Structure 1
Amino acid sequence: MPVDVFDHMEEAWKLDRNPFPPDAIRRQNADQPYSPDVFSEEENTFRRKFIRAGVRGGPAIGFLWSQGQRADTGFGKTTLMQEMVKEINTDLGETTLEKAGAKKPPHPAIAAAFSNLNNLNAAGLYPVLFNAVIDLATPVEAGTESLFDIARKRIVTKIGSDDASEIAAHVRQSWATIGGTSGPLRSELVNAFASGGGTTLRTELAAVSATARLRNGLQYLDFALAALAAAGIDHLFLMIDQLEDLATTRSVTAPKRSREIGRIRDLLESAPYATRLHMIFTFHSRAAQVLDRFWEENRLPPFEVSPSNTAAVVVLGGLKENEQVQELLRVYLQDARTEPVDDDLLPFELGAIEVLRDVSDGRPGILLSRAYELLNAAAEQALPTISGTFARQYFEGHTVADDGDDGRSAAHVGDDDIDDLLLGRR
């Protein structure tokens, strides 16, 4: 009689579902498990180099690299950025700066937004800025406030009034103070924010056409900086993901690459961006090879991983220890438990954990998708646990007949076999 995999997961492993993502994709604003203990050292380095240094006049641009032996994606850059945005906006950077070793409070109030370049072939940097403003208007989780809602409340407390016209006047006055030679703010944004905060502003932003996003993205960033300044928030950390799309998308011509990178340069040179906006980009070797000459042409700060550039670079190198893999698996398994279990890693045995680290090349995104496959395969055979033997044979494509972990190290999986698997040759 065929085994119902979901019944087996629930009865044998106390899981209400397969908790792992079937693909190595981190979705924005998705409620996914996360443990700061997986890459605790890299997280603290991120806070110290990019956030604490940013408010103290450090590098205007930071680069979050991924480097592996055989690949340079799937190392958790997107996840780290999104979690840092969430952490910063929860208490306007108080926790982040404390963890980064900043002196005792009061700390400066800071904000963060996440955006990406994955549509650059059809748009440009300005839509990326527009999407960052949408992110600021969107609550991180259901039942929470957006960053713009928090900013509006701070303005109300500061001016002692909830009157929309007074809030709008305060935002415009703040822009007059910080805006330099920039033009006036867009009235529809100021009025939407003043009357209803993030909720009303999101409605206004949703009605903006793709053409307006392409042409006027900088004006939306201007509004965001003005609203934040009016609330006493003088630093915005903009996390920009998938910079590699600027380098690897074939439809992006060389002149377009040069123009978009030149726009990044423009943001570093003029007020109010030069002192209030801090950009952090994801980066890897393929992007570096293509973008190097454009970066040099526009005299942007160096992005390479080198002893002379350590202040501007954080590197994610993957899961190097089994303890990291265990913690990553644990938080996903815990999220799906129907009741407590004696072993937090049930159904995985240590041998299976070693195999997962090997076949994923230590990349957390790939490892989670491999764990999804392996859990389903074990459930189909109604196994009580997932041993190293079963995991090795599954990923080698052999007929699996599991009779318990024989204690052999996953290192016995040949490098050639693993390469074949990762490259889809098996």
Structure 2
Amino acid sequence: MPAVDVFEHMEEAWKLERNPFPAEAIRAQHAEQPYSPAVFSEEENAFRRKLIRGAVSGGQAIGFLWSQGARADTGFGKTTLMQEITHEINSDLGATTLEKAGAKKAQPPIAAAFSNLNNLNAAGLYPVLFNAVIDLATAPDSGSVSVFDKARARIVEKLGQDDADAIAERVREAWITIGGTGGPLRSELVDAFAAGGSKLRSALAAVTTTARLRNGLQYLDFALAALAAAGIDHLFLMIDQLEDLATNRSVTSPKRSREIGRIRDLLESASYATRLHMIFTFHNRAAQVLDRFWEENRLPPFEISASNTSAVVVLRGLKETDQAEELLRVYLEDARLEPFEDDLLPFESGAVEVLREISDGRPGILLSRARELLNAAAEQALPKISGTFTRKYFDGQAMPADADDRAEAADFGDDIDDLLLGSR
């Protein structure tokens, strides 16, 4: 039998221009990827209500986004949720997020930045802060502007003129007003921000690795001052991959203690205490290693407990087939060549349930397994992917590529219950 062109089969049989699923369970920052809030609607709403509105209304300084599964801690969608909420906040400076969180009246504008702790062997918290400032200076897509650009526009509106000197002076005045204790702001940042355009991004791109390591706090100072000058008094730092601080073997105990101590320092400074809100990802392995360092620095508790529910949101994976179907649907829709009545084609519901089971309900793992399965089914030119084929494939017993077997694999899979019950 001649070899099947998998891409041609995807196009003709399934109306897909490509395999839409990611090869790795990794979410890239600023990369446009399909997303459906319906997959984890309860957890997403809890994130807004507890970690965002709770910080604005109740002054909560630190929150935690946990993942917790039966056999694993990663791949549950923490990075995706953080990035999506960051984008949502910055799209209208928090108006939509706070409204969805249940706020009944107009709330103060807020901003958010995403960063991560994935290179602590060569860096530390200060480069994380620097990367957060880079995020504030970066437009999320070609059709929008950065948070700093929005802040500058608000300052111009308040001043009634677009004058660089006046803008710079307003930023410096704001730093004094909010109690800045770290010395004067870096003049090159203030001047670049005041000048507008791409000058601030260029100034940040020119900062050396050494300066990022040593002076990250100064860049955060500038960010808080620029936002305060624009009337934006709350900055949320979404800090991902805290597990690297715990699981990276090159990070010594003294370094862990120092970096966590720096988190404590931020909470004790007047200029950060009420304006800066940090949300960390967490899981059991990280908790076991970091517990004593957290306690030594008297940081707010991170454990999942009845007494700490206001500061914790937990992702436990895809519990229902409907959730897995919705996750697959948005990725399939993104690659569909034309509208199709069966928006899960080529997956039958039995296949989706098997995918959910073998991935332990972890979205990232499910998507990478779906990619693998889709390729395997295309190689055999299957019209649909049944639960039977999926189960056998992941057991290492994929169906043969005979035409009769292909038809059986498509027709038999999700109708097996009907056959057994005698309803067909």
Partner of 2:262: 263
| DSSP-derived class of the 1:272 partner | helix
Offset from partner CA, 1:4-54 (integer Å, 9 cap, x none):
111110111010000000110000011000000000000000000011011
Equivalent position SS for 1:340: coil
One-letter amino acid matched to 1:157:
E
Deviation at 1:121, TM superposition (A): 1.1
DSSP 3-state at the match of 1:24: coil
What residue is the counterpart of 2:83 in the other structure?
82
**Is the contact between residue 164 and residue 191 of structure 1 (CA under 8 Å) also seen in structure 2?**
yes
Letter in 2 for 1:150: K
**Cross-structure match for 1:68:** 69
User: Equivalent residue for 1:132?
Assistant: 132
Cross-structure match for 2:97: 96
What's the TM-score once normalised by structure 1's chain length?
0.94
**Aligned equivalents of 1:202 and 1:278: distance in 2?**
24
Q: Which amino acid aligns with 1:36?
A: P
Q: Deviations over 1:275-323 (max 9, x none)?
A: 0000000000000000000001001010000111111100000000010
Q: Which runs of 5+ in 1 are unaligned?
A: 410-426
Deviation string 1:81-121 (CA, Å, 9 cap, x unpaired) is 0000000000000000000000122x110000000000111
Q: How does 1:27-426 map to 2 (within 5 A)?
A: 27-105=28-106, 107-197=107-197, 199-401=198-400, 402=406, 403-404=408-409, 405-407=412-414, 408=416
Note the aligned Cα RMSD (angstroms).
Answer: 0.9
Letter in 2 for 1:152: R
Distance of 2:19 and 2:7 partners within structure 1: 8
Within 2, Cα distance between the matches of 1:168 and 1:314?
Answer: 39
SS at match of 2:102: coil
Residue 181 of structure 1, CA deviation: 2.2
> Hey, what's the Cα distance between the residues in 1 that align with 2:399 and 2:131?
47
**1:339: how far off?**
0.4
The offset of 1:342, in angstroms, is 1.1
Contact kept in structure 2, 1:59 and 1:311, CA below 8 Å: no
Query: Residue deviations 1:187-214, cap 9 Å, x none?
Result: 00001110025x2211111110000000
Amino acid at match of 2:109: A
Rounded to whole Å, the distance in 2 between the matches of 1:257 and 1:316 is 25
- Equivalent residue letter for 1:284: H
Give the corresponding residue for 2:422: none
Q: What SS does the aligned partner of 1:96 have?
A: helix
What do residues 132-188 of structure 1 show as CA deviations (whole Å, max 9, x unaligned)? Answer: 000000011112100000000000000111011111011011111113322100000
Rounded Cα–Cα distance in structure 1 between residues aligned with 2:252 and 2:273? 28
Q: 1:12 to 1:180 in 2, by over 3 A?
A: same
SS in 2 for 1:56: helix
* Offset at residue 400 of structure 1 (A): 1.8
The unaligned stretches of length 5 or more in structure 2 are: 401-405, 418-424
Taking the aligned partners of 2:318 and 2:398, their CA distance within structure 1 comes to 29
| Partner residue in 1 for 2:16 | 15
Cα deviation per residue 1:365-414 (whole Å; 9 max; x = unaligned)?
000000000000001111100000110011001142352334458xxxxx
Runs of 4+ aligned residues of structure 1 deviating over 6 Å after TM superposition are: none
TM value normalised by structure 2: 0.95
Contact preservation (8 Å) 2:181, 2:271: no
Comparing 138-147 with 255-264, greater Cα deviation is found at 138-147
- Tell me which residue corresponds to 2:421: none
Identical residues among aligned pairs (%): 78
